[in-house]
Structure 1
Amino acid sequence: MRDTQTRRPSSLALAASALGLTLMAPLAMANEAAERLTERLDPLESYHASFEQQILDGSGERLQDARGEMWLSRPGLLRWEVEAPYTQTVVSDGNDVYLYDPDLEQVTIQALDERVTHTPALLLSGQVSELTESYDVEYEQDSGDDVFTLVPTSADTLFEQLQLIFDGNMLTELWMTDSTGQRTAITFSNAERNGDIDDARFEFDIPDGTDVIREDRR
């Protein structure tokens, strides 16, 4: 993981502090980072990739591995299929999100509200302006990759930090850290940006005999 490092303040920063300019430089840097992220995401209309996912505890020990495939079309459309070691499907049709577990023969339906869009996979399918308004954005380069670190401005989120890593315009990695220090690392491969995706990919037909749990809209 490419951790954001805390750097020792330079003499220029200390001089700015003495002149009462401490708020101006961080604000400019934050705006520049948000603009850079907007430049990456604004042209993104669709995205299709395979993924490998690891869940690590606070000490870095691997707790779980998974792999699968994802399709995304903005705004609000997503299909996220976990293929192994278990099968699970998440589909967003722009209004509702379906979380289907075939082993349990159960599907949970949630409204695509603010709480749901704070999950990383759905976050990418939303409006860029909402993203940069809801998160403090930092930017750095690491070995030629562009690394964006997002910290939620609200406490009502499912994670404390999110990192998006780009190689050029292609999203290659996504890292999420929750309040317990547990990290989820997702690596994308065989990615296609702005290709044609059939709208039927974002429809979900509930299989016969499946238990349906529907959460009320807030």
Structure 2
Amino acid sequence: MTDIISDSSAGLSAIELFAAQTAHDLNNLLTGILGNLELMQNRARRGGMAEFDDYLASARQAGSRAAHFTQRLLAFSGRDAQAAAPVALDAVIPRVIETLRATGLAIDMELAVGKDVLCSAPQLELALRELLDNAAQAAGMNGRITLRTEYAGDDAVISVTDTGPGMAADILRRATEPFFSTRTGGAGQGLGLAIVERFARRSGGTLELVSHEGEGTTARLRLPAIAP
């Protein structure tokens, strides 16, 4: 499948359309499932059936993870694209990082003061989360992650660097392919960098990956900047 995607824009469009249709169908199913689980949990609590509460809570958490996966599929497909508008990086980035720090993720931040970027704010937040999550998986428990911003000409550049093991050249070449991953297990593996690359392209920007084995990885998300 990945060879077809790499060599044919028509093949990629078909994959994106399939992802969008699947996400919409899953979202419709999950709406009913999560709604009924919430009703069951509330009734169990009112009825004094506390022994069921943990099971229902776990089921709702699993459903929420599945719902998040559908959002990522839609983001990959581009079918949920929102209109571009000026976005202040110094407002969006700290908000995303504080949310992730609350989960225990250690992130260093170096923000330059400069222009806004022109893109969809919700899609930028998702792209940042994908980059930081990918860096966290690469860096591991004892690694470090650094997010920097800088301005180069008419562009804003967001760099996320990790101290992980880095990637060999053959892996690096395929890193943004949809559903390509060297990791195993878990829904949505191989979507993160594909989501970011497509967001960058649709926003008039680029995603550049720099990595060498044993030297970590830097992802540079370049977006059009505008005067604030």
Normalised by the length of structure 1, the TM-score is: 0.26
Normalised by the length of structure 2, the TM-score is: 0.25
Write 1 or 2 for the structure with the bigger share of strand.
Answer: 1
Write 1 or 2 for the structure with the bigger share of helix.
Answer: 2
